[in-house]
Amino acid sequence: MNNNDSEKRSTNRRKFLKLGLMSSVTALAGTSLISNFASQEEKKPSGEKIRLLTPDGKIVEVDATNINKYPEALITPEESRKGIPDRKFVMVIDLARCKNARKCVETCQKAHQLDYNQEFMKIQLLQDNENVSPHWFPKPCFHCDEPPCVTVCPTGATFKREDGIVLIDNQRCIGCKFCITSCPYSARIFNWGHNDKFENKEIPYSPETQIPAAEGTVMKCDFCPDMLRQGKLPHCAQSCPMGVIYFGDKNEDIVTNGEETVSFTELINNRGGYRYLEHLGTKPNVYYLPAVNRQFPLERGFDVDEDIIKRYDKVPYVKDLKAQGKI
Amino acid sequence: MDTNSRKRELVKEFSPMLVKSSFLSSVWILTLIAIIAVGLYAFYLQLTQGHEITGMRDNVVWGVYIINFIFFVGLSYSGAFISGILHFFKTPWKNSVTRIVEIMTILSIIVGPIFILLCIGRLDRLYYLFLYPRIQSPITWDIIAIITDIFGCFLYLYLTFIPDFAILRDNTDLKLPNWRKKLYTFLAINYQDTESQRERLHKITSIMSKMIIAMAIVAYTVLAWIFSLTLQPGWNSTIFAPDFIFSGLYSGVGVIIIAMFIIRKYYKLEKYIIHSHFVMAGYVLLVLSLLFGYFTFSDYFAKWFSHKPADIYLLNTLFGHYFWQFILANYIGVIVPLFFLSIKKIRTIKSITFAALIAVCGLWLNRYLVVVPTLESPYIPIQDTRLEFMHYNATWIEWSLSFAGIAAFILFFLLIMRLVPVISMSEIIQHERHLETKQDASLKK
């Protein structure tokens, strides 16, 4: 298949993306950047100039030392409760482009040191009824504005931040699992047993990375705040070869999948964007664009491991395909 | 009537169950301890190897443990309710039953919460519940409600025990070891059975009997809310709290009947626990079986009739994978007790006890069907290849801990019955005294 092709494209895109996001960072948080500079010790200009694109299309040149490298330092559990100032993160998933390439799942697992079957991002095959065609449905945590999981937590181990992200502090979690039962989207997973990787003391724990994980506590998709602090997209959005996942800031009204940067409201309004199970009133921050004018036939998604195909056995469409001997 | 000689008589009558330890009872106690020991070993394994060795997984995160928790707390709640009602209405035939009810109330509120602790992934951080409490979490409400309930029940049980402790302290016929005499002296808190003391105790007990009804209803309602305040298709229902209240009573009355039957047979108390006690309790069970059936039916019927997709998915799970369990819990568990209890000719002590046994088992299974199938049919269908993640199957760890819980319940029951007679002596005397004054009054006329 065109895997190589898409990989190449995605690396190209990543370069582009860095530029794009940096521009948005400079433009939006411009004032905060300046104040940051002011507070820091005086830096000698390195002479190296970097060109940045502002959202209104102007190219500006700044000194390399003036770019605020967001601290790669540890964000402690205490700090992680505050959130990134002035942000309201939002994700848009374009179902028309998803072909179950599973790159989002795999990079997420790698970045969060998850096991093969532990998935923060799950790809479901949804078929609403027998008459309609099924579609691939990547499902992260929806980071709801009315999160049922946060309401029911008895110790405040899971919390909602100002920037809209819902995180878990696994040093506070007592493992009562009430949040798992209260989440209508099955977004949360539990560490049921021991694992050597939990003992890894080299990396200090931060709820923003959820590494190292701990036995008897809950985990879930975190929107990769550590990446966001560096001005990068979450791992899933970065790695998707089809540009399915747009990520951005609602305050700024901008989302990007790395390839194109668009207005969030325009994208949602023009493409019929919706939130999954809106009627539950949880107010998710993940939007979906319906699977119309699809770029790939559904069958392309069955080019994955045998045991992953087996997951979708109960979907009527897959039953038909199996009966016809096509997979 | 000479109260003191009557007291001595009663102690003599009940002394076999207080001092004598027969071969049979030792065997019983050893068996129970063995079951508890296996449970403790299972608990040790769970603690050292993690929850991985239970059947619980990401979808069904609560299993048999939480079902036992609901079940035992339900017993306690219904015990408190029934005993409160018996006191409140000054039921004439209550003397032989109240203590059984009270012991059940207190023991099940101790055993029940142990099961919820088994569900918790990080027991070492349990104190975080008090260190970082968040009042909007229904779990916090539940902790407050259950702790209050435990204190209330303890206090109530203790109040009803005080006169009997005093009788046992004053008695010189019983050959008791020294520590037990000291224990009775300590527990009787200098109660001398004077007129004023009696009156005061009566007043406090009757206040407490009303309070524990309220506490029990609150505690059990909050427990039902743990489920019904979530958004899950099978749980998010306004009928849940009242349904829990009546089904809790159903199981409670069932367990009381079974306990009455065993205690009557084992301690040869045919004189005190009579046929009419069973018939009375049978009537209550009959009404409750109808109520339980009614609540269960209207819950599922509304789901079936309005056929929202998520509800239908749940019903398909219930009538598919759980077909026989559903039939046993919600049909057999209602119809069989109904049959045995409503036909007068077959309403014998044995048949009533059998009906109670069916009711209790059916209700436990009903709780299972409330918890597990809902978790197995979430809004977003489970797409997984790992069998244990798709269907919940309790492992031996969970079963042995469940049986250990039941064994602990029975063992503590036996031990409390060793400490004080299962029939309240002071209440018998009180009752007789009451009759006497009535007779005197009628003679004077």
CB A97 within 8 A of CB A300: no
- Of A20-24, A209-213, B18-22, the poorest mean pLDDT is in A20-24
| B154 CB-near residues (< 8 Å, 6+ apart) | B106
Residues of B in contact with A182 (CB under 8 A): 230-232
Distance from CA of B131 to the nearest CA of A (A): 8
Looking at the predicted structure, is the pLDDT value of residue A53 above 80?
no
Distance from CA of A103 to the nearest CA of B (A): 18
Q: Touching check for A152 and chain B: CB below 8 Å?
A: yes
The reply to whether residue B380 touches residue A182, judged by beta carbons under 8 angstroms, is no
Question: Considering only CA atoms, which of A139, A131, A98, A150 is closest in space to residue A294?
Answer: A98
The reply to whether residue A217 touches residue B122, judged by beta carbons under 8 angstroms, is yes
The reply to whether residue A185 touches residue B385, judged by beta carbons under 8 angstroms, is no
Q: Write down the pLDDT at residue A321.
A: 86
Nearest to B128 among A122, A139, A172 (CB): A172
Query: What six digits make up the tokens of A137?
Result: 């449905």
The reply to whether residue A193 touches residue B379, judged by beta carbons under 8 angstroms, is no
Question: A79: which DSSP letter?
Answer: H
Sign of CA dihedral B198, B201, B207, B212: negative
CB B260 within 8 A of CB B239: no
Residues of B in contact with A286 (CB under 8 A): none
Q: Give the whole-angstrom CA distance, residue A23 versus residue A252.
A: 12
Q: Give the whole-angstrom CA distance, residue B33 versus residue B35.
A: 5
pLDDT above 90 as % of chain A: 60
Q: Give the whole-angstrom CA distance, residue B276 versus residue B280.
A: 6
| B12 CB-near residues (< 8 Å, 6+ apart) | B173
Q: ∠A101-A106-A110 over CA atoms, to 5°?
A: 165
Looking at the predicted structure, is the pLDDT value of residue A30 above 70?
no
Looking at the predicted structure, is the pLDDT value of residue B21 above 80?
no
Q: Write down the pLDDT at residue B193.
A: 87
Burial of A35 (C-beta count, 10 Å sphere; 0-12/13-18/19+):
exposed
The reply to whether residue B129 touches residue A174, judged by beta carbons under 8 angstroms, is yes
Q: Which residues are registered as beta bridge partners of A245?
A: A93
Q: Touching check for A216 and chain B: CB below 8 Å?
A: yes
Query: What six digits make up the tokens of A31?
Result: 């004032």
Q: Write down the pLDDT at residue A9.
A: 47
The reply to whether residue A155 touches residue B132, judged by beta carbons under 8 angstroms, is yes
What is the DSSP code string of B357-370? HHHHHHHHHHHHHH
The model's confidence at residue B369, banded by pLDDT at 50, 70 and 90, is very high
**Residue-averaged pLDDT of chain A:** 84
Query: What six digits make up the tokens of A145?
Result: 């504005």
Question: Considering only CA atoms, which of B338, B331, B343 is closest in space to residue B355?
Answer: B338
- Of A251-260, B91-100, B113-122, B239-248, the poorest mean pLDDT is in B91-100
Looking at the predicted structure, is the pLDDT value of residue A39 above 50?
no
Q: Write down the pLDDT at residue A46.
A: 66
Residues A154-167 have pLDDT tens digits of 999 999 999 999 99
Q: Write down the pLDDT at residue A44.
A: 60
- According to DSSP, the β-strands at A89-94 and A286-289 are parallel
Q: Touching check for A186 and chain B: CB below 8 Å?
A: yes
Domains of chain A and CATH, by start: 3-66 (no CATH), 77-289 (3.30.70.20)
| A114 CB-near residues (< 8 Å, 6+ apart) | A108, A120
Q: How far are the Cα atoms of A217, B52, B356, B430 from residue B289, in angstroms, in the given order?
A: 41, 38, 10, 34
Distance from CA of A123 to the nearest CA of B (A): 9
Residues A213-227 have pLDDT tens digits of 999 999 999 999 999
Q: Touching check for A177 and chain B: CB below 8 Å?
A: yes
Strand runs labelled E in chain A: 49-53, 59-63, 89-94, 122-126, 135-139, 158-160, 166-168, 189-190, 218-219, 245-249, 254-256, 261-263, 286-289
Instruction: Return the CA Rg of chain A.
Output: 21
Return the SS3 of B412. Answer: helix
The model's confidence at residue B1, banded by pLDDT at 50, 70 and 90, is low
Return the SS3 of B191. Answer: coil
Residues A230-250 have pLDDT tens digits of 899 999 999 999 999 999 999
Averaged over A85-104, what is the pLDDT?
Answer: 95
* Residue in chain A lying closest to B118 (CA): A176
The reply to whether residue B122 touches residue A155, judged by beta carbons under 8 angstroms, is no
Nearest to A312 among B62, B375, B383 (CB): B383
Q: Give the whole-angstrom CA distance, residue A62 versus residue A51.
A: 6
Q: Write down the pLDDT at residue B84.
A: 87
Instruction: Return the CA Rg of chain B.
Output: 23
Mutate to test the interface with B, among A177, A190, A309, A319 (most CBs of B within 10 A): A177
Q: Write down the pLDDT at residue A73.
A: 67
Question: Considering only CA atoms, which of B271, B270, B292, B386 is closest in space to residue B336?
Answer: B292
pLDDT above 90 as % of chain B: 72
The reply to whether residue B120 touches residue A189, judged by beta carbons under 8 angstroms, is no
Q: Touching check for A304 and chain B: CB below 8 Å?
A: no
Question: Considering only CA atoms, which of B280, B250, B260 is closest in space to residue B92?
Answer: B280
Dihedral-angle region of residue B50 (phi above 0 means left; psi in -120 to 50 means alpha; beta otherwise): left
Residues of B in contact with A220 (CB under 8 A): none
Residues of B in contact with A77 (CB under 8 A): none
**Any idea which residue has 């078929």 for tokens?**
A127
* Residue in chain B lying closest to A312 (CA): B383
Q: How far are the Cα atoms of B115, B128, B144 from residue B151, in angstroms, in the given order?
A: 19, 22, 11
The reply to whether residue A177 touches residue B119, judged by beta carbons under 8 angstroms, is yes
Q: Give the whole-angstrom CA distance, residue A134 versus residue A127.
A: 4
The amino acid sitting at A178 is F
Question: A96: which DSSP letter?
Answer: T
Per the document, the length of chain A is 327
Residues B271-319 have pLDDT tens digits of 889 998 999 999 999 999 999 999 999 999 999 999 999 999 999 999 9
Structure ipTM: 0.90
Q: Give the whole-angstrom CA distance, residue B83 versus residue B212.
A: 9
Q: DSSP alpha helices (H): ranges in B267-342?
A: 275-306, 309-319, 323-326, 333-342
Mutate to test the interface with B, among A142, A178, A179 (most CBs of B within 10 A): A178
Residues of B in contact with A147 (CB under 8 A): none
Averaged over A89-96, what is the pLDDT?
Answer: 96
Q: Write down the pLDDT at residue A26.
A: 41
Sign of CA dihedral B44, B46, B49, B54: positive
Exposure string of B353-371, with b = 16+ CB inside 10 Å and e = fewer, is bbbbbbbbbbbbbbbbbbb
Residues of B in contact with A189 (CB under 8 A): 58
Q: Give the whole-angstrom CA distance, residue A9 versus residue B387.
A: 38
Averaged over A86-90, what is the pLDDT?
Answer: 95
Residues of A in contact with B122 (CB under 8 A): 173-175, 214-217
Distance from CA of A20 to the nearest CA of B (A): 35
Looking at the predicted structure, is the pLDDT value of residue B243 above 50?
yes
**Residue-averaged pLDDT of chain B:** 92
The model's confidence at residue B232, banded by pLDDT at 50, 70 and 90, is very high
Number of helices (H), then strands (E), in chain A: 11, 13
Identify which has the larger pLDDT, A82 or A25: A82
Looking at the predicted structure, is the pLDDT value of residue A34 above 80?
no
Name the range with the highest mean pLDDT among B8-17, B82-91, B237-246: B237-246
Residues B82-129 have pLDDT tens digits of 988 888 777 777 778 889 999 999 999 999 999 999 999 999 999 999
Chains A & B: contacts with CB separation below 8 Å: 133
Nearest to A153 among B59, B134, B379 (CB): B134
Averaged over B131-149, what is the pLDDT?
Answer: 94
Q: Which residues are registered as beta bridge partners of B297?
A: none
* Residue in chain A lying closest to B229 (CA): A182
H or E stretch at A13: helix A3-28
The reply to whether residue B119 touches residue A184, judged by beta carbons under 8 angstroms, is no
Q: Write down the pLDDT at residue B9.
A: 87
Residues of A in contact with B128 (CB under 8 A): 155, 157, 172, 174
The model's confidence at residue A142, banded by pLDDT at 50, 70 and 90, is very high
Q: Touching check for A279 and chain B: CB below 8 Å?
A: no
Nearest to B119 among A153, A176, A308 (CB): A176
Looking at the predicted structure, is the pLDDT value of residue A189 above 90?
yes
Residues of B in contact with A157 (CB under 8 A): 128
* Residue in chain B lying closest to A137 (CA): B380
Q: Give the whole-angstrom CA distance, residue A104 versus residue A234.
A: 9
Residues B404-443 have pLDDT tens digits of 999 999 999 999 998 888 988 888 888 888 888 888 888 7
Looking at the predicted structure, is the pLDDT value of residue A192 above 60?
yes
Q: Give the whole-angstrom CA distance, residue A41 versus residue A43.
A: 6
**Any idea which residue has 């001398």 for tokens?**
B192
Nearest to A151 among B120, B137, B382 (CB): B137
Return the SS3 of A167. Answer: strand
